[in-house]
Amino acid sequence: MSKEQHQPNNSMTIKIIWFALLSSQNVFLLVISQIKPQNISDPDDTMTAMYFGMGIMAILFGLFGVPKVFKGSPFQTIKILQWAFIEVNMVLALISSQEGTSMTVVLGSYVLSMLGMVLTFPRNTAA
């Protein structure tokens, strides 16, 4: 067997990881839509804004900060870190939804996360 047969196709591997994390955004949305908050009559708008703002900051850091902070790191490492920060937005949306946030805010977070994932699609493996 040649050496090439033992090494995985990194381009395909990173795309599979991207698709799995993209799919997890949909799972978060499904979970949020199915789980109802616990008897909260009046959600705290300050907390909603804080979670939404933190989610936007996580996406922006994932898109623009990670490539600068981890400059010189392998391509795959940078991409996975970007996706992790984008994923934080949906985790914050899940937390916010349990405090009574409207579905409109959750959908906004979902759209921003999906946009971030699309923008970071692994087009090539050059650093």
Using pLDDT thresholds of 50, 70 and 90, give the confidence band for residue 45. confident
**Residue 94 to residue 51: CA distance in whole angstroms:** 10
Q: Are 121 and 83 in contact (CB under 8 A)?
A: no
What predicted TM-score, i.e. pTM, was given to this entire model? 0.84
pLDDT tens per residue across span 74-125: 999 999 999 999 999 999 999 998 888 889 999 999 999 999 999 999 886 5
User: Residue 8 is encoded by which pair of tokens?
Assistant: 């995985």
Using pLDDT thresholds of 50, 70 and 90, give the confidence band for residue 10. confident
